[in-house]
Structure 1
C-alpha cells in the first residue's frame, strides 16, 4: 500500500507551489478579478513551467505524464485560486493532441506554451448550442462535441465576451453551433476521445476543489487561534472547532476518493466510472460547505472584502457549477452502478499510489475464509451477531488453535506476527462471514496490555488462558456518571495491609462481562491528587466474590452489562502498571480503541439495501430502477469508499511511521456518523419492508439502523473525536464546551 507521491511528483508539486505562491497570491487574484478574471502573466508562467504539456504525448511536444501528475498540479491551483481555466485547458490540449496534432500544430503549440487559451465546452453542442464555457471570455478557441463530431470553434479576436459573474472568473455564454467550426474528428473514436476528456475534467476539478477547501479551512483555523472572545481564542469553543474538524475530515476523504478513482481506473475495476462522478460531486459539495463554515468562523470580518476568505467562498461555487447542478453527478453515479451505464474512461497513465493490501494479506485471508467454511455450521450461522451475543466458546477455541485469534501477536504467544495489512484483510473476512469480533478485540486489547505492562503472575495465570482461547476479557472503563470522561472514575481501590487491594464501585457498559472470565478495571487509588494522576488499572477475575453482573439490553438487539464491585479483593500481582500510573496504561489502551472504523459495517449495510431494492416492486418494476433510489444507494456507497480510504490512510501511516494527525479519530468519527445517517436514509428508502426483522436483507438493514446508533458513542463519542481532530489536524487549542 502506498499513499505517497513519487519523487518526481513531489518535486513537481514543490515547483508549482513556489510559482503559484508568488504568481497567484491574493493580491494577484484580486487584481485579476477586477478586470476579466484572467491573469495573463501567471498563465504564461504556467506555460513556461510545462503545466499545459502534462497530458500531451511526448511525440507532440508534451511531457506525456499520467493523470495523477495533473492532479498534483490541480491541488495547487485550487489552493492558490489560480485565475484561469487550468483544468479545461489541460483537457483541451490533450484532446487536440490526440485528434488533430498535425492539422492544428500551431494552435497546440501556442496553447501549451500559454500564449493562447484553448478551453473545452462541457455539453453537446447539438443539444445545447448556447452554453457557458469556463475561460470563454479570454479563449482563442473552444473544443466541443457536436453530435458525432468533435469540433474546434475559433472565437473572434477583440470581441468582449465577458460579463459580471459570481466570482469574477472569465466564463462566458457562447454560441457554439457556428458554420466556421473546424471538425477535429468524426465518429465513435473521436467522440470517445472527447468523452474521456470530460471524465478527466471531473477528476481534475475534484482535485482543485480539494486543494481550495483545505486552504479555506486552514485559514479559518489560523484565525480561530488568533481571535479571542470572552478572554479565550474562539477555537477553544467546540461550536467553532467541531465543524472545522468535520470539514477537514471530509476534505481528506474527498482528496483520497479522487485518488481512489484514478487508482481503480488504472486497475479497470468495476465501480471506477461511478467513483469519477462521486469524486466531483463530493468535493464540490464539501467545498461549498467548507468555505461557508470558514467564512462564518471569521464572523463579520468574513463579509469584508479585505479578508481573503470571500475569494475562496465564491470560487468554490464558480468552478464546478460551469458543469451545471452537481447533484446530477450523483444520479450519474447511480446509473453507472445500477443501470449499467457505460462511460468512456481516460487512460490515467502510470501511478505510484497503491491501495492493495498485498499477496500475504490475500493469502491469509483465503485461509481464514476456509476456516469459516469448514467450521460455521448452519446453527452457528444462525447464532451469528455483530455483538458479544454472537460469541461461541467452541469457535473461539478453534480460532486459537488455528492461530487466528490474535494473528498479529508474536509467535511465542501463539500468533503469526501478521502485519497490519494482513490484519486488515482478516477483519474483512470476519465481516464477510458475519462473525463477531467483539470478544476477540477486547481480549486482544487486554492481552496486549498484559504483555506490555503485566506482572509475571498475570502473564502466567491470565495471559496463558487468553492465548489458548480459554478466556475472554471485557473492558471496565465507563461509570454511570462519567460517560466518555473515563478519567473521572470513582470506583475505589484501597490497599490492604497484606499488599492486596479492595475494590468498591460500579461500572457501566461492561459489554461481555456475562461471558468473560476477566475485566480490565480502571480504579481510583488516590483521591487527593488531580483526577488524571490518581488512577490504577487491574485485571480482575469476574468470578471473584463481591462482583455482580446485571444485564442492560439495548435497542441495538444486544446485551451489555452494569457491573458492581463490593469488597472485591484482588492480589497486587493483578495490578496492571504502576500505582497511580493508570493514565499511561489507559492512554495506550484508548489509542488502540480510537483507531477503529465501521467501514465494514457500512459495506454490509449498502449491500443489504441493494438486495432489498432489487426485491421490492415500485411502480411495476424493481425499486432499484428508480432514479431516486439509485442516487441514495450511490451516496451510501460513496460514504463507504471514503471511509475505506480514510481507514487505509490511517493504516498506511501507522505502518510507515509517518506523522499521524488524528487519522484514527477521523475514520472512527466519519464512518460511524455516515453509518448512522445512511442507515436512517436506507431504512426510509426501503420502507415498510425494512421495518421487518425477517431473515435476509430486510432484517440486516433493520439491524444496521439500530447498530449504527451505538457506533457514534462507544470507543469515544464523535464529539471526543472531533476535539482530537481539531487539535491534531488543524492545530486548534484544546477544545471545551
Structure 2
C-alpha cells in the first residue's frame, strides 16, 4: 500500500498553497479562512466565501475530475482531494457538493437540459446546492424517507418535510429526494429532483446547533416541479444517492484540520504556566500529549487507507467508517484536553475579552460534538465495522 503522492501531485499541492498564501492577504481573508468554524468552515455561506470559490473556478480548480466534454480536465479524483486538504487546513470553503454528488450525477444520468443548465454554473461557482435527504423519521435509515412526489400534469407535486439541511438558508437549488412509488420496496421508490429554493411552497426554519452552526428544518408544501427537473429515471434515486457517496470519497476525509488542531494544542501546552512552572514539564501532561500525538498519526493512516482504496476503484465503506469514527472522536479528545489544561479559564466563551485563544477551545469542544453525529453517528460507524469487518451479528 503506497501512501506517497507523485511528483505531479506534490507540485499541484505547492501550487495550491501559493494560491492560498496570496488570498490570505486579501481584506476578507478572516472570513474566508476561519478554521475555528470547525466542519462548518467548508461552506460557501458568505459573499466573501463565494468570491473565493469563483477565484478557484477561474484557476480551473472546480470540476477537475469531470470529463473534458463537460468542461473538466479529466484529472484523477486525488487532485480534488489534495485541493480540499489544503483548503480545509486553513478553514476555507471546499469545492463543494455541486462538483461531486450533483455535478457527477448529472453528467452520468442527467438530461441534456439539466446538463446545459447546471454544469456551466457549477464550473463557474455560480450556484449553491442543498442536499434534501434527512427527514424526522429518516436519518441514518435514509431509505425510509416519506416526502411524497405525486404525478400532476407534466410534473410532480411535492409535499413533506426535511430535517438538518445544512445549506438551505443560502443555497439556490434543492437536490431533493422524494418517494415517487409508495408501494415499492423502500429502496426502490425514491427519485431525485432539482427544486429552486425560492419556491413559495418552501419554508425554511433555521436551527442553531450546539456549536453555533446553522442547520435547517425545511417544509415542502404543494411544490410543483416540472418533469424536466427530475434527475435521471423515476424510482432510481437511491442508486444515484449511493453513487454520489462514491464521488465524494476523495473529498470528505481530510486530515489537515486534525494536524493543525494538534499543533495548536501543542503550542498551548508550551505556553501555560501553573504553580510556578510550565505544565509541559508535568509527566501527566507529557503522557497525555504523547498519546494524542500517536492518535493523530493513527488518524492519518486511517484516512490514507480510505484514499488508497478509493484510488484502486474499491468501495472503502469499512475504511471510511473507521476513519470517520476515530477522527471525529479524536477532534473531541483534542478539545477536551485543551479545556483540561486551561482549567476554568478554558470555559470562557469566545465573546469574552479574556477568553484564552479567543475562546477557540470551548467553541471547538461544542462544535466537534456535532461531527460525531453528522454523516452517520459514531454508533452507525461501529455497526458498519462490526458487521462488515468483524462479521458480527447485529441485534435490534
> Under a length normalisation based on structure 1, what TM-score does the superposition of the two structures give?
0.49
- SS of 1:688's equivalent? helix
Change (3 A) 1:729 1:536: same
Of 411, 431, 436, the match for 2:93? 436
- SS of 2:28's equivalent? helix
- 1:368 is matched with 16
CA RMSD of aligned residues (A): 2.4
- 2:302 is matched with 646
Q: How many angstroms apart in 1 are the aligned matches of 2:118 and 2:198?
A: 13
Answering whether residue 132 of structure 2 is matched by residue 466 of structure 1, we say no
- 1:615 is matched with 271
Q: Deviations over 1:359-412 (max 9, x none)?
A: 222211121122222224243324534413764221111111111233333344
Q: Deviations over 1:208-248 (max 9, x none)?
A: xxxxxxxxxxxxxxxxxxxxxxxxxxxxxxxxxxxxxxxxx
Question: Contact 1:357 / 1:425 at 8 angstroms: preserved in 2?
Answer: no
- In the TM superposition, residue 473 of structure 1 has moved relative to its aligned partner by 0.9
Change (3 A) 1:420 1:645: farther
- 1:419 is matched with 76
Q: How many angstroms apart in 1 are the aligned matches of 2:242 and 2:362?
A: 35
- 2:337 is matched with 681
Query: Where does the alignment leave 5 or more consecutive residues of structure 1 unmatched?
Result: 4-353
1:433-582 equivalences under 5 Å are 433-437=90-94, 440-441=96-97, 443-497=99-153, 499-582=154-237
- 1:205 is matched with none
1:198-597 equivalences under 5 Å are 354-376=2-24, 377-382=26-31, 384=34, 385-386=37-38, 387=40, 388=43, 391=46, 392-437=49-94, 440-441=96-97, 443-497=99-153, 499-592=154-247, 596-597=252-253
Q: How many angstroms apart in 1 are the aligned matches of 2:125 and 2:356?
A: 31
Query: Where does the alignment leave 5 or more consecutive residues of structure 2 unmatched?
Result: none
Question: Contact 1:597 / 1:672 at 8 angstroms: preserved in 2?
Answer: no
- 1:296 is matched with none
Q: How many angstroms apart in 2 are the aligned matches of 1:699 and 1:598?
A: 24
- In the TM superposition, residue 474 of structure 1 has moved relative to its aligned partner by 1.2
Answering whether residue 356 of structure 2 is matched by residue 707 of structure 1, we say no
Change (3 A) 1:390 1:548: closer
- In the TM superposition, residue 648 of structure 1 has moved relative to its aligned partner by 0.8
Question: Contact 2:171 / 2:197 at 8 angstroms: preserved in 1?
Answer: yes
Q: Deviations over 1:310-348 (max 9, x none)?
A: xxxxxxxxxxxxxxxxxxxxxxxxxxxxxxxxxxxxxxx
Of 377, 384, 390, the match for 1:717? 377
Change (3 A) 1:593 1:403: closer
Which entry has the higher C-alpha Rg, 1 or 2?
Answer: 1
- SS of 1:631's equivalent? helix
Q: How many angstroms apart in 2 are the aligned matches of 1:389 and 1:628?
A: 41
Q: How many angstroms apart in 2 are the aligned matches of 1:690 and 1:407?
A: 42
Considering Cα pairs closer than 8 Å and 6+ residues apart, tell me whether 1 or 2 has the greater RCO: 2
- Equivalenced residue count is 382
- SS of 1:471's equivalent? coil
Question: Contact 2:84 / 2:254 at 8 angstroms: preserved in 1?
Answer: no
- SS of 1:719's equivalent? helix
- In the TM superposition, residue 472 of structure 1 has moved relative to its aligned partner by 0.9
- In the TM superposition, residue 593 of structure 1 has moved relative to its aligned partner by 5.4
Question: Contact 2:270 / 2:280 at 8 angstroms: preserved in 1?
Answer: yes
> Under a length normalisation based on structure 2, what TM-score does the superposition of the two structures give?
0.88
